[in-house]
Amino acid sequence: MSTVRRILNLFSRSKLEQEIDAEIRSHVEMRMADNMAAGMSPEQARRDALIRFGNRTVMRERIAAADAELAFDAVARDLRYAARQLRRSPAFTITALLTLTLGIGANVVVFSVLNALVLKPLDVPQPSGLYNVVHKAQGYDSQSYPDYLDFQRRNATFSDMAAYQIQNAGLTTGNAAYKCWYYRVSGNYFDMLGVQPAQGRLFHTSDEKGPNSAPYIVLSNDFWRTHFNSDPDIVGTTVDINKHPFTVIGVAPGAFHGTDVFLWPDFWMPIVDSPDDEGANFFSNRGMHNIWILGKLKPGVTPQQASDNLNFIARELARQYPASDDDLSARLVKPGLMGDQLGDPARSFLAGIMLLAFLVLLAACANLASLFAARTADRSRELTIRLAIGSSRWQVLRQLLTEAVLISVLGGALGTIFSTALLDALTGWQPFAEFPVHVAVSPDPKVYLVALLLAVGSGIVWGLVPVRQIWATNSAQVMKSGAAGTIVFRRLAFRDLLLGAQIMLCTLLVTSSFVALRGMQHSLHAPVGFRPQGVILAETDLHMGGHSDASSTLIQKRMLQEAGRIPGVTAVGIIDETPLGTGGSSTLVYRMGTTEFRASNSAFGAKYFSISPGYLEAAGTHLMTGRDFTWHDDAKASRVAIVNETFARAMFGNESALGLRFTMGDKVPNEIVGVVENGKYESLTESPWAAMFFPLDQNPDTDTSLVVRSQLPPGEIVPALHRVLAQIDPSLPFVFHSWPDALAFVLFPARVATASLGVMGLLAAMLAVTGVFGMAMYSVSKRIKEFGIRVALGAQPVRLMRSALGRPLLLLLSGSGAGLLLGAMASQLLAQIVYQATPRDPVVFAGVMTTMALLGFVATWIPAQRALRVHPAELLRQE
Amino acid sequence: MARNDLQGSLDLLVLKTLSQMGELHGYGIVLHIQRASDELLSVEEGSLYPALHRMEQSGWIRSEWKVTETNRKAKYYKLTTAGQKELLKAEKSFEQLIKGIRAILRYA
C-alpha cells in the first residue's frame, strides 16, 4: 500500500471503513454457513458469528488503529470530531475564542515589547558579547572620556571598547535647517559593531588625529532618505553643523539605528570633533561624565571576569586621580537602554505587566475551565456511552483535550493577528515630535513561538480540568439517572474555586488600574515647583547659530526684551534647561572650609540651572525668602546663588540660609541670596533633589529655554514670538510648545503604565463578567425545573433569587475581597513608576468595589431574569 | 513484555499459517490455527483483523479480494519476502522464549 494511499485514506475514512466492513461481513457469512452446516438455526448461527467479533464499531476502530499512521490518523479523527462538536455549540465556541483571543493577544503584545526592549540583543551585525560599562551606583551611567581611554588601553578582557554620546545640533544644508540628534562616537565604533556602509565609507580609528581632526559625518539611512531625498551623490557633500562645515563621507545601512533601543540618531560624527566648543575640557577632564562606554568581550571571557578586570583598573585610576576618580567603579549592563538609565524601570515595569498579562490569561483559562467543566458535565451522557461501548478513558480525554487545544490554537492565532497589527502600529509611532524616539517592537519568530506555546499550554490547562469528571464517571450510574445526575450542587465544586480565583485575579487587575489612574491624576496636579499652565516655551541652542557660551548672554537679553514687549505677555525669563525636561545636570557641592575636593568629602549632589532675572516669576516658582537675581549679578560681581529648601536644609539645617555660602569643585564660594520652594527636576516619582540656580551672567549657557507667561492663547503667542525671535537671529531653529505639552516626556512612563494597566483591567473585567455570567446562567438553567416547581408551590421571588444567584454572588464577594488585598500588596511595586500610587486611597477602594458590584450586577441580571420568569406550566409541558 | 510476546505469538501463528497454506482469508486462518493445534488454540476474530492490518502495513503480507470456492468474495492474504524473513525471526525468538520459560519451570 503506497504512502499516498495511506494519506488519502485519512481523508476518505469511509472507504477504508467500507473495506473493513466488507471483510468482516464475508468472515461472518462464512462462519454462519459453517455454523448452519454444524446444525445451528440460522438465527443462532448469525448470533454466534457476530458475538465472536464483539462490538463492531470498536472492532472497526481497532482495525483502523492498527494503521501505521495510527497516531496521525487518530489526531485527524479527533480534530474532525472536535470541529464538529464545536460547531454544534457556537455559543461556547465563540465565548472561548473571544476569551482566548483577548488573553493570548494581550500576552503577545506585552511579550513583544519585553522581547524588543529587554530580551533581544542590539540590532547590530555582531551583537554577541556587547555590554555598556556603567558605574556600580544605580542611575550613574555616564563616564568621562579620559577614563574611557584608560579602560580601553588597560583592560585585558575586551576585544574592543567604543565610546558614544547622544547630542543635538542644528544641521544646515542649502537653505534648509534641521534640529538633529546625532551620536559622537569613537573611531572604532563601526568596526567594533561590524557595520558596513551602504554608501561611501565609515570612519575608523585611523581618522582620529586629535581634536577636530576629522570633520566628517555618516548619515543614517532614514535621514538620508527623508532629508536628502536618497541623493545618490551625497558622499562628498558639505553640510553645516552648528555653523561648522562637515563632509558627508558615507551612509549607514538601513538596518542600523545606532546602539540605543529608543533613540535613533540622524548621523554619526567622530568623537574627536566637537561642534559644541567643549574643546579641550572634554578630552582631559575626568570629572566630566557625559559619554557611554560600549565594550565587546573577548571570546570566552565571562561578564564577571570582565567587570572584575575593569574594577581593578578603576581602583588604579582612583589611586592615580583621587580628585575625580575616587568613586570610580564598573558594572556591565545589557546595552541599548541609554546606558542603563532606562534599564531598571523598563525591566521591572515590563516584568510586572508581563505578570499581569499572564494573570489575565490564567483568568481566561480559569474561565474556560469552568465553562468546559460545565459542558463536559452536560455531555456526560455522550461520554458515558462512549466509555460503555469500549472507548478507553484516555481516548475520551484525548478527545476533550483536542477540543480544548483546537480552540486555544485558533484563539491564539486570532490574538496574534490582532496584536501584530497593534505592534506594527506601535513600531511606526513616534511619541515625541522633538525626540527621535522609536519603539520598534514588531514580533519576531520568538514571539510567534511564545504565542503558540501559550495557546497550546492554556488549551491543555483548561482542557485537563474535566479529567476528574471522566475518571470518576461510573457508566452504569449515569445511564440510569440521566445527565443531571452527575452534577452535585451541594458541595463547593472545583468550578466554583476556579471562578473565585478568576474573580480574585480580575479584582487585582482592576485595583492596579485604579491605583495607576489615581496616581496619574495626582501627577497631573502634583506640586512640581513651577506652574506650567499658561506658559509657552521657546527652546533653542545658541551653538546652532554659531554663538559661544560667552557671547550668548547678549542675545538672551535681547530675546527677553523683545519677548517681553509682546502685548499680553505678563512675564518672561530664561533657563538653560527646564526642570522636568530632558534631565538637567547635577554636580557635587561642598561645605565651606573643605580642603580636599574629592567625591567622598562632598556634602551632596545638587541639580543646577542657569536662570535670568525674572525666570522665577515667569515660571511661577515661589521665592520663599531673599531676592531674585538682577542683571547686576554679572561676571564682575561676586558669585551668588538661589537654592531650594531641600538644599538649604541639607546644608544648613534649620538655620536661615540667606547670606551663607557653599562651594563646588571650582572652590569659588557662592553666596545664597534666595531660597525657593522645592520642585521636581527629573521625574515625578523622584525623591526631593537639592537644587541651585545661578545667574546667567555668572554661569552662561547656550542652551536657552525662553519661558513666556501670557494670557494669550498659544495660537496667537507662538507666531508673535516666532516673529520677534527670527528678527534677532534668523538662523536659529526654535522649538515652540506649551509647558504642559513639554511635560509629556516625563509623564510618558506614567501614561504608558496607566494605559496598559487600564487595558489589562478592562480585559480582566470582561473575563469576570463572562465567568460570573456563565456560572449563573448555567446554574439557573440546570435548576430551572426545580425553580418551576418551587414557583408552582408559591416560593417568594427573593428566596428563588437567593438560591439561584447566592453562590455566584458569594464567589464574587469573596473573590473581590481577596483580589483587593492582593492589589494593595501589588501596588507597592507600582509606586515606583506612577507618582503617589497608593491603594490606601478611599477613592480607589470605592472605585474597585463599585466596579465589581457593577460587574456582578451586569453578569447576573439576565440569569436572574430567567429564574424569575419561570413558567411552571411551560416547563411541565417540555418534559 | 507480556503483551508484546502475546502479540508476537499471534503474528507467528498467522505468518506460519500463511507460509504453509500459501493464500488464505481471515476466516480460513482462524479455522486452520484451530485445526492444526488440535483445537488447543483459538484465535479471536477481535484480535486477528487488527493484527492482519498491522502486518499488512508493515509489508509482511499482501492482500487481494478473490472469490472463494463457495462463490463468496473474501480478502485473501499472502506472505511477502519481508514476511518470510519476519517469520524466521519470529520462530527463532519464540524458540528462545520457550527455552527460557522451560528453564525457569525446571528450577522453579
pLDDT digits (tens, 9 = 90+) for A394-425: 777 888 888 888 888 998 899 889 888 888 88
d(CA A194, CA A188): 10
Minimal C-alpha gap between A50 and chain B (Å): 10
What's the pLDDT band for B1 if we cut at 50, 70, 90?
very low
Same domain, A627 and A488: no
Q: Are strands A735-738 and A703-710 parallel, antiparallel or unpaired?
A: unpaired
Residue that wins the pLDDT comparison between A644 and A211:
A644
Q: What is the distance of C-alpha A729 from the center of its chain?
A: 42
A33 closest CB neighbour out of B45, B70, B73:
B70
Which pLDDT value is given to residue A13? 57
The 8-class DSSP code of residue A69 comes to T
Residue A781 CA neighbour count, 13 Å, CB half: 10
Nearest CA in chain B to A6: B57
pLDDT of B24 > 50? The answer is: yes
**Residues A755 and A820 both lie in one domain:** yes
Domain membership of residue A424 (yes or no) is yes
Q: Which of B46, B56, B72 sits opposite A26 (nearest CB)?
A: B72
Binary contact (B25, A20; C-beta < 8 A): no
The Cα–Cα gap between A2 and A13 comes to 16
Instruction: Give the one of B26, B27, B49 whose C-beta lies nearest to A59's C-beta.
Output: B49
Band of pLDDT at residue A194, cut at 50, 70 and 90: confident
| C-alpha cell recorded at residue A323 | 580628585
What is d(CA B101, CA A223) in angstroms, rounded to the nearest whole number?
85
Chain B residues with at least one Cβ partner in A under 8 Å? 25-27, 44-46, 49-51, 53-54, 56-58, 68, 70, 72-75
Q: How far is B26 from chain A (nearest CA, A)?
A: 7
Looking at per-residue pLDDT, the higher value among A779 and A573 belongs to A573
* Stretch A778-806: mean pLDDT: 78
Predicted confidence at residue A343, as pLDDT, reads: 65
Are both A515 and A620 inside the same structural domain? no
Given pLDDT bands bounded at 50, 70 and 90, which one contains residue A620?
very high
Most confident of A372-376, A508-512, A583-587: A508-512
Alpha carbon A877 to its chain centroid, in Å, reads 58
Q: What residues in A contact B72, CB-CB < 8 Å? A: 26, 29-30
Residues A476 and A484: their CA atoms lie apart, in Å, by 14
Residues B67-82, mean pLDDT to the nearest whole number: 88
Rounded Cα gap, residues A296 and A306, in angstroms: 10
**Mean pLDDT for chain A overall:** 80
| Cα torsion A19, A21, A24, A29: sign | negative
Q: What is the pLDDT of residues A479-531, one digit of tens each?
A: 555 444 444 444 456 667 777 887 888 888 888 878 877 777 776 677 888 98
Residue A820 lies in a domain: yes
Alpha-helix residue ranges (DSSP H) falling in A545-585: 549-565
CA A464 vs. chain centroid, Å, equals 32
A26 assigned to some structural domain: yes
The mean pLDDT of A761-765, rounded to a whole number, is 80
Q: Distance between CA atoms of A493 and A481, rounded to whole angstroms?
A: 20
Per-residue pLDDT, A115: 83
Does the distance separating the beta carbons of B44 and A66 come in below 8 Å? no
Give the residue on B whose Cα is nearest the Cα of A63. Answer: B50
Tell whether A390 and A436 lie within a shared domain.
yes
- Tell me if A59 and B46 make a contact (CB, 8 A cut-off): yes
pLDDT at residue A320 in the model? 85
Question: Treating both helix axes as pointing N-terminal to C-terminal, what angle do B26-36 and B2-21 enclose, rounded to 10 degrees?
Answer: 100
Residue A707 has pLDDT above 90, yes or no: yes
- A621 pLDDT band (50/70/90 cuts)? very high
Residue A75 lies inside a defined structural domain of this protein: no
Residues A509 and A542 in one domain: no
Flag if A54 and B46 touch (Cβ within 8 Å): yes
Per-residue pLDDT reduced to its tens digit, A302-343: 888 888 888 888 888 888 887 777 778 888 888 877 666 666
Report residue A560's pLDDT band, with 50, 70 and 90 as the boundaries.
very high
Confidence at residue A166, expressed as pLDDT on a 0 to 100 scale: 81
Alpha-carbon distance of A360 to A508, in angstroms, equals 10
pLDDT class of A2 with cuts at 50, 70, 90: very low
Highest mean pLDDT out of A202-216, A299-313, A355-369: A299-313
Q: Using 50, 70 and 90 to split pLDDT, how confident is the model at A72? A: low
Amino acid at A366: A
**Domain total of chain B:** 1
Domain check: are A512 and A539 in the same one? no
| A430, A475, A490 from A482: Cα distances, Å | 62, 11, 18
Higher local confidence (pLDDT), A296 or A774:
A296
Q: Which of B46, B70, B75 sits opposite A23 (nearest CB)?
A: B75
B83 in Cβ contact with B24 (< 8 Å): no
- Segment A170-190 shows an average pLDDT of 82
Mutate to test the interface with A, among B7, B10, B42, B45 (most CBs of A within 10 A): B45
- The answer as to whether A697 is a domain residue is yes
Dist CA A148 CA A283 (whole Å)? 10
User: How far from chain centre, in Å, is Cα A589?
Assistant: 37
Structurally, chain A folds into a number of domains equal to 4
Closest listed residue to residue A35, CA positions, set A23, A47, A24:
A47
Residue of chain A whose alpha carbon sits nearest to that of B73: A26
Residues of chain A with pLDDT > 70: what percent?
87
Which residue is closest to B51 within chain A, CA to CA? A66
Set of cell numbers at residue A675 = 531660597
Q: Who has greater pLDDT, A398 or A270?
A: A270
Query: Is B74's CB within 8 Å of A54's CB?
Result: no
Asked whether residue A297 carries a pLDDT value surpassing 70, the answer given is: yes
pLDDT of residue A804: 74
Domain span at A791: 344-524+747-878
SS3 content of chain A, % helix, strand, coil (to 5): 55, 15, 30
| Max Cα distance, chain A (Å) | 135
Q: Could you tell me which chain A residue has the CA closest to the CA of B59?
A: A1
CA of B56, closest CA in chain A: separation in Å?
8
pLDDT of the residue at A138: 66
Q: Which residues of A touch B74 (CB under 8 A)?
A: 23, 26-27, 30
- Asked whether residue A574 falls in the same domain as residue A498, the answer is no
Q: How many CB atoms lie within 10 A of CB A533?
A: 9
Which chain A residues contact residue B25 at CB under 8 A?
26-27, 30
Shared-domain flag, residues A275 and A382: no
Check residue A333 and give its pLDDT: 83
Measured distance CA(B33)–CA(B35) in Å, rounded: 5
Looking at the domain assignment, is residue A277 inside a domain?
yes
Please enumerate residues of A whose Cβ is less than 8 A from a Cβ of B: 1, 6, 20, 22-24, 26-27, 29-31, 33, 52-54, 59, 62-68
Whether A91 is in a domain gets the answer: no
CB distance B74–A31 less than 8 Å?
no
Q: What is the DSSP string of A263-299?
A: B--SEEEETT--TT--THHHHH-TT---BEEEEEEPT
pLDDT per residue as tens digits for the range A456-475? 888 888 888 777 766 766 65
pLDDT greater at residue A10 or residue A758: A758
What pLDDT band is residue A677 in, cutting at 50, 70 and 90? very high
Q: Is the pLDDT of residue B5 over 70?
A: no
User: Average pLDDT, stretch A96-105?
Assistant: 86
Q: Which residues from B are below 8 Å from A66, CB to CB?
A: 50-51, 53-54, 57
Q: Is the pTM of this model over 0.90?
A: no
A20 to chain B: nearest residue by CA? B49
Cα A510 from Cα A516, distance rounded (Å): 10
| A186 shares a domain with A278 | yes
* pLDDT of res. A833: 60
Q: CA of A16: which chain B residue's CA is closest?
A: B53
pLDDT of residue A493: 66
Strand ranges, E, within A19-154? 130-134
Q: Kindly state whether residues A217 and A138 are assigned to the same domain.
A: yes
Q: Give the DSSP H/E element, type plus range, for residue A723.
A: helix A714-728
One domain, residues A164 and A299: yes
> CA-CA distance, A641 to A693, in Å (whole number)?
6
Q: How many CB pairs under 8 A join A and B?
A: 59
Burial grade of A61 (CB within 10 A; 0-12, 13-18, 19 or more): buried
A706 near A559, Cβ under 8 Å?
yes
Which amino acid type is present at position A34?
A: D
Kindly report the nearest CA distance between residue B50 and chain A, in angstroms: 4
Probe site for chain B from A63, A70, A73 (most B CB atoms < 10 A): A63
Q: Specify the pLDDT at position A487.
A: 45
- Domain end among A740, A767, A788: A740
Above 80 in pLDDT, residue B8?
Answer: no
CA dist list (Å): A327 to A290, A318, A584, A666 = 16, 7, 22, 19
The whole domain housing B34 covers 2-107
Identify whether residues A160 and A190 lie together within a single domain: yes
Chain B: residue whose CA lies nearest to A64: B50
* A808 close to A493: Cβ distance less than 8 angstroms: no
Which grid coordinates belong to A831? 509606586
Contacts of A65 in chain B (CB under 8 A): 50
The residue among A519 and A451 whose pLDDT is bigger is A451
Subunit contact A26:B46, Cβ cutoff 8 A: no
pLDDT value for B2: 36
Report the distance separating Cα B10 and Cα B48, nearest Å.
8
A81 belongs to a structural domain: no
For residue B88, give how far its alpha carbon lies from the nearest alpha carbon of chain A (Å): 23
User: Rounded to the nearest 10 degrees, how much is the dihedral formed by the CA atoms of A770, A773, A775, A780?
Assistant: -160
